[in-house]
Structure 1
């Protein structure tokens, strides 16, 4: 029988709609059964935005309502025998973003009113915590069934004020007050599940609710959100064929491009490679490999926090840390690593079991280029369109192996953009180069160790490895002499690529390249 193509659920997070309207659903119901039949009835899952957390909450909602017909043919159909119905209180906190205290209080009251219209409101229920407790108790009393509480994106009201010392404590207290009845209502509760991006400490947000099981880094739940390569091959095989035909490339080439752009996430170790589902479905839907995750909106809090902690573009990836340092409460963080990890801008890339230390880096091409584009205004210019056009011209020059033409383009570009503050030091231009050549999709690293010192920058194209030394108000000759004196290229002799030395001198008065020298290593 000919297989029928399903629609891709781009932006759709309601389980019943996906199942009822012939959308593609990657079966995660085995995890639903595992979660709901475990020793803990309080669970928390942290995953980056647009990774399927809301769909998971919606799936749990339908499961606890006993809607067995929706799960026909899915893994849980064979696992679950009872299908008990429970009253479900489902709170989506994504509607409570960008609010002050008064508006947040009003939004929480509105959410409670929806369930008070079903279960009633007690005369003494005034504050939102009293009203939540009252709704839970009455739902239990009226149905005779324990209540399920689902709180999706619990941290949404706090993300945009995370960098604000004044507003964060105020809104955090509002949310702490709202969640406070969950511990007292334990006898009336069957299951409590919270999702979020960041991990706030139990003390500051959940008051006395100290029995939440955080499954975010538990190996059995490594692939609970996102899509694995195995799931693509098994559940999207037909779709792979369609995409390959549309793009006029082979299935293997399609998989390689999908992997390069959207794969590479790991939320524990060991873990299968996890693809970003939002970007993956968009790519299948459009037949293009665009930057969908970043296109859906880079949170302003990220850029604010990068500035607050003074993190350079070249310092975002390549980090080693123990779990307690990156899977940590964000309001107590002393560096930006927990926020970068929990938001999905860096992910686990390796683990040293001897020293219990993880390697963290940027997941894939989409995230790397998206990050660099969002950093352009801070380091180069607010005119991102002009920068993007310049990068395309650079790419054309370097695809011909013409570094001289590329540097002439860069010289002209830097001389025409407005002067930025704090550019009179070598490190600024190093970061400018780092951003621009990352936008080209090249491998770039700074301060690379060699036997005789550190190279300012190493860049690698498909055919050539460039060893780059930067100078400020000196000369390109001085930069090249340092490369030769310390024999930097020796470190890369066995890389299998042509090695080219590049010495560059910047003029701080003109704020652009003054001169440069380019010499192939023979």
Structure 2
């Protein structure tokens, strides 16, 4: 018997639409009740993009508007007895990206006017902060109730200029000014909810509101966005079975594939396993695995910040840090860790209570592969598409234990790569080599691995083989191999019980031509 496939709310952020059209909805209403009945009237939540923040905001709007009919059968139905209706002011800053100062002011006036129109309020005040203050007062007077303010993606206007000090400062001042009335309106506000990706300390919502609760790392809200593994296996078992049929796998094997690709997020510790909802639902809808999160946008601001902090691709990945180091304000951060964590490229993987130190790493394969793939153009210039094909072919060669043939493919490819400036040094090729091999799914790759006798440039580990690789630049492959043997690098991996293959690799750059020379032992 073929099961009817239900409709997935991919890209749909309106709670009412999802409920009216009977789409899949993972019940998060218990969190809504908990938030709205806590000791904090101002709440901030940070989560990565495409993680369900806007849907949560829409759910809060329907709840505060007293739409009891939309919550039939959900957890909050048994918790809420009053269903009091409040005037809700909903501001989404998502449309405020890539704007200059004057454009941003006009955009703020536009979203204010949209809210004014909903309540029949006329205003031509030219200053966004004064107009927001007037709006809150006016709706309270018209309705006789406190207002609810929902601000979605508050940091959207700032993310793309976070690496530009002058532009960031100017836009930040505009946004600080816009949010400033929230403090003075405390008596007129029932609840304020703010979402974003990152944390900007200099904005008024953090520097002036002394009672804002940042619940981003609070254990009771670890699963407020995204889909937990428990929710997946209990509420979506039929969906897993349907995908299993498409993939010709067992339901258990399918769950393992989904876990490896889209699970692994933890926003506190301890925490349930959380899946990326956009990628998971898109996979279920299309019936195949894919890198869906990256397909919706490239992390331009992240690449720019990597350049600013001098972070190399090989330095991404596992890191140990105190919470203050990765939950820091974006514009005052001294490393890239806060942006990597808050944007969803790193997540919490472990916590040592004795030292109060967290271990952060890539959440899953989708993020690891997708991030390195987005960095590849910086090393391959216009040959990026051909490079991706070479990576796929090399993956097959390594799977068959044929490193020499994989390097031959790489060598032939490098002959076709256009010459780029600033590539005439060993580190450029080491990083390119690292990215290419990091894209080979199913393998572990490390660079500059410490051994008792020194540091190995690259170590690749497959299910049955450890490849120990030394890189040279305009020297010789034999010299690289000799270094492996003289320093006994391979001995450090003998206890793994796997076949060990040593390779000396030399990049030869002559004028505008690049070639590869290697020896495999």
TM over 0.5: yes
Moved more, 416-425 or 300-309: 416-425
Does residue 515 (structure 1) correspond to residue 517 (structure 2)? The answer is yes
Alignment-derived partner of residue 50 in structure 2:
50
CA distance in 2, matches of 1:514, 1:296: 35
3-state DSSP class of the match of 1:494? helix
Query: Who is 2:453 aligned against?
Result: 452
C-alpha contact 1:122 1:134 (8 A) present in aligned 2: no
Give the SS at the match of 1:471: strand
* C-alpha distance in 1 between matches for 2:354 and 2:228: 28
Task: Judge conservation of contact 2:480–2:506 (CA < 8 Å) in 1.
Answer: yes
Distance 2:500 2:487 in 1: 15
Q: What per-residue deviation string (whole Å, max 9, x for no partner) do you get for residues 326-358 of structure 1?
A: 111101111111111111111111111111111
Deviation digits for residues 371-409 of structure 1, max 9, x if unmatched?
111111212223221111111221222222111111111
Quote the residue 1:278 is aligned against: 278
Q: CA deviation at 1:167?
A: 1.1
Contact 2:180-2:204 at 8 Å conserved across structures: no
In the TM superposition, what is the alpha-carbon distance from 1:316 to its structure 2 partner?
1.4
- Greater Cα offset, 418-427 or 184-193: 418-427
Q: CA deviation at 1:173?
A: 1.0
Aligned to 1:266: 266
Q: 1:514 to 1:121 in 2, by over 3 A?
A: closer
Query: Unpaired segments of 5 or more residues in structure 1?
Result: none
Q: Secondary structure at the match of 1:194?
A: strand
Shift of 1:233: 0.3
2:434 partner SS: helix
- For the residue of structure 1 that corresponds to 2:209, the secondary structure is coil
Change (3 A) 1:123 1:13: closer
Q: What pairs up with 1:302-451 in 2 under 5 angstroms?
A: 302-441=302-441, 442-451=443-452
Output the TM-score relative to the length of structure 2. 0.96
Contact 2:229 2:273 (8 Å CA) reproduced: yes
Q: Deviations over 1:274-333 (max 9, x none)?
A: 110000000000011111000001132111111111110011112111111111110111
Q: CA offsets, 1:410-457, max 9 Å, x none?
A: 111112211222323222221111100111112111111112211111
SS of corresponding position for 1:63:
helix
Give the whole-Å Cα distance in 2 for the aligned partners of 1:80 and 1:446: 55
Q: Closer, same or farther in 2 for the Cα pair 1:408/1:192, shift >3 Å?
A: same
Offset at 1:134?
1.1
Which segment drifts farther, 37-46 or 445-454? 445-454
Q: State how far apart, in whole Å, the 2-side matches of 1:436 and 1:88 are.
A: 50
CA gap 1:123/1:349 in 2 versus in 1, 3 angstroms: closer
Matches of 1:380 and 1:161, distance apart in 2: 26
Pairwise CA distance, 1:7 = 0.6
Aligned to 2:234: 234
Contact 1:43–1:214 at 8 Å: present in 2 too?
Answer: yes
Provide the residue aligned with 2:175 in structure 1: 175
Deviates more, 1:145-154 or 1:450-459: 450-459
Whether the 8 Å contact between 1:120 and 1:135 is mirrored in structure 2 is no
Q: Match for residue 41 of structure 2?
A: 41
Q: Deviations over 1:466-522 (max 9, x none)?
A: 111112222222212221222212221122422211111221326545422212xxx
Give the alignment's TM-score, normalised by structure 1. 0.96
Equivalents in 1 of 2:81, 2:498: separation in Å? 60
Q: Secondary structure at the match of 2:266?
A: coil
Verify the 8 A CA contact 1:475 1:504 in the aligned structure 2.
yes
- The answer to whether the 8 A contact 2:15-2:58 is kept is yes
Indicate conservation of the 8 Å contact 1:456/1:468, yes or no. yes
CA distance in 2, matches of 1:486, 1:383: 36
Aligned residues: 519
Q: Structure 1 residue 4: deviation in Å?
A: 5.4
Say which SS state the counterpart of residue 459 (structure 2) adopts.
Answer: strand
Residue of structure 2 equivalent to 1:475: 476
Q: Point out where structure 2 has 5 or more consecutive residues left out of the alignment.
A: none
